Amino acid sequence: MLKRANLELVFEGLDTYSNVFLNDQLLISTDNMFRTWRVNFKRLAKPGANTLRILFRSPINEVLPVMARMNYELPAGNDQGEKTSPHTRKAPYQYGWDWGPRFVTSGIWRPVFLEAWDDARVADLHIQTREIRADIANVTAEVEVIAAARTNATIVLNNLTNKTVTRRSLTLTPGTNRVALNITIPHPSLWWPNGLGSHPLYTFKAQLLIKGKPIDEARIRTGLRSLELRRQRDDTGESFTFVINGVPVFAKGGNWIPADSFPSRITKDKYRKLVQSARDTNMNMLRVWGGGIYESNYFYELCDEMGILVWQDFMFGCSLYPADEAFLENVRQEAADNVKRLRNHPSIVIWVGNNEIESGWFHWGWKERFPASLWDDYRKIFYGVLPDVCASLDPSRPYWPSSPSSNLKDDPESQKMGDLHYWQVWHASAPFAEYEKQFPRFMSEYGFQSFPQLETVATYTEPADREVSSPVMMVHQRHPRGNQLIREYMLREYPEPKDFESFLYVSQVLQAEGIKIGAEHLRRIMPHNMGSLFWQIDDCWPVASWSSIDYTGRWKALQYYARRFYNDILISPHEE
């Protein structure tokens, strides 16, 4: 192997601050959980045994000296401890949330592998649909090749589904080379969201030949479909409608959080069961929420296979962030890595900058408490760096700055345009009937808590703990007013439950009946409103939360109700 011209180590996930040593020599330093790090180690390699050592530093201790030099503390209201999370490119939920514990991890969380190559390697294959009709699809395949020296080469593109081949000869120059190959697919099989049609996938392979010999290849699977986020002016504001293959789609689904506090523990089986549960309850969209992680490739592959549209947030949520040049460049590389990794998935239909930061600035007192320069910093990231990356690397998809947002045309919580998070039900104790007084253009968050069923509670309690306010149960209730609010709403609708198990059961019925009111109303006012994504689908640990599926995978009542209120045909009697 040492005879190869290039020896590279690829780290797909180092969490977060680390120094990587090979044979006691510093190879690379890292500072972003979400980036892929690639480094040539040939100069440090030796015959025989080589020692790779990765030294991780505390993400909290790394930031505390930085914070001590500041005149203010960046808001991070969900951090259950020192408010360090805004300074570190790491999953925000791991610092604690109102449904999850604080486990500020460090370590290797995605694969590490070695690549050896000589003249060139295929770095990327991107399939872009330029035009698609019933009779024809015109597609461009962009192949990215990294070359070590000037050399003649051939790119062979195989459409493995239709059994067609396209070739292009070129001269590679040292560094990055990009070549575009246009192909035509007659009578394409269109990819449709769940409920509107099938979800066929095409497989493409790009092969690199030098002197007629195969050197490297890349293989991807994608779907052919058109996509539009239709934002048209109308009598009440501006629409917010996803249009797939020319058909307006009412988005039915929920919000997705990481399925474990330790994401490396999430198995393929757990991913499949959760995504399949969404499909089997007539959902067609999941929002990958911006306080978690960019999910594994397997998650998106499942969504492709099952016709589940993905609203993809970038990983920023409920905080303000620095905008010095080093931070901006780190964010730029993070965005580029993930956009390039995910852009071939037909399931992904939008890139969204963050979760609730515009709401925080205008409605949580940040504008009054913090320097105006922080709003300038906000715009540098979410109206500068991120849309620039998306426009450059994935112009086929819309970019939206925040959720909720009006794209600065109105209040971020406007019901005239953009998307809306509505939390007066729950946080403000408003009755469920208030859902029917809301007329958003796209409801991307609303929700209500419930407890898991007794079998799940038994996994983290002893019999003596099974009282709603016991110390153990309170540890597994992260919202400071959670139990109080559940009880308050419950007694409006039902008699006092007779025992602990009954309380758990009634909490689920209460949640399901309440969200049913909201979901059916949102469907009744279609096409004014074109989305219903309740909070939330899953849990990262066993807990009282807004989820419809608990940590063990058991469906709560809400998931069963969703199968009915998200049915393709809904009869929803309503008294005006």
pLDDT digits (tens, 9 = 90+) for 473-487: 999 999 999 999 999
Q: Where in the chain is the domain with CATH 2.60.40.10?
A: 119-222
CATH of 227-456+515-565, one of 3.30.70.1400, 2.60.120.10, 1.20.1250.20, 3.20.20.80: 3.20.20.80
**Ranges of residues in the chain whose predicted pLDDT is under 70:** none
Place of tokens 């419809």: 548
d(CA 348, CA 514): 29
Backbone angles phi, psi at 437, to 5 degrees: -100, 5
Residues paired with 104 in a beta bridge: none
Adjacent-strand bridge partners of 439:
none
Structure-token pair, residue 369:
């408490």
| Distance separating alpha carbons of residues 321 and 380, to the nearest angstrom | 10
Cα separation, 201 vs 224, in Å, equals 7
**Topology of 6-114 in CATH?**
Jelly Rolls (2.60.120)
Token duo for residue 32: 């972003």
Burial environment of residue 478 by CB neighbours within 10 A (0 to 12, 13 to 18, 19 or more) = buried
Please list the residue range(s) of the chain that carry CATH number 2.60.120.260. 6-114
Q: Which two tokens stand for residue 543?
A: 């807990």
pLDDT of residue 291: 98
Residue 477's contacts (CB-CB under 8 Å, 6 or more residues apart) are 483, 543, 544
pLDDT digits over 287-322, tens only?
999 999 999 999 999 999 999 999 999 999 999 999
Residues paired with residue 15 on neighbouring β-strands, in sequence order: 107
The CATH 3.20.20.80 domain(s) of the chain lie at 227-456+515-565
pLDDT at position 569: 94
- Structure token pair of residue 226: 């058109």
* Side-by-side strand order, sheet with 52-57: 25-31, 17-22, 52-57
Q: Are 288 and 310 in contact (CB under 8 A)?
A: yes
Q: What is the pTM of this model?
A: 0.96
What b/e sequence results for 295-315 when a residue is b if at least 16 CB atoms lie within 10 Å of its CB, and e otherwise? bbeebbbbbbbbbbbbbbbbb
Query: Mind listing the pLDDT tens digit for each residue in 124-138?
Result: 999 999 999 999 999
Q: Is 44 left (phi over 0), alpha (psi -120 to 50) or beta?
A: alpha
pLDDT for res 573: 87
Of 286, 123, 84, give the one whose Cα is nearest residue 206: 123
pLDDT at 575: 82
Helices 557-565 and 500-524, axial angle in degrees (round to 10)? 20
Distance between CA 287 and CA 255 in Å, rounded?
5
Q: Is 230 helix (H, G, I), strand (E, B) or coil?
A: strand
Please measure the distance between the N-terminal and C-terminal CA atoms of the chain and give it in whole angstroms: 75
Answer positive or negative: Cα dihedral of 12, 15, 18, 22: negative
Give SS3 for 528.
coil
Residue 541, amino acid: W
- Quick one: fold of 119-222? Immunoglobulin-like (2.60.40)
User: d(Cα 305, Cα 244) in Å, to the nearest integer?
Assistant: 16
- Please enumerate in sequence order all residues whose Cβ is within 8 A of that of 514, keeping only pairs 6 or more positions apart, or say none: 425, 432, 435, 448, 489
Tokens of 457: 């509670």
Q: Where are the alpha helices (DSSP H) in 406-499?
A: 424-427, 454-457, 471-475, 482-493
Q: What pLDDT is attached to residue 297?
A: 98
pLDDT tens for 316-374 read 999 999 999 999 999 999 999 999 999 999 999 999 999 999 999 999 999 999 999 99
Active site (catalytic) residues: 356
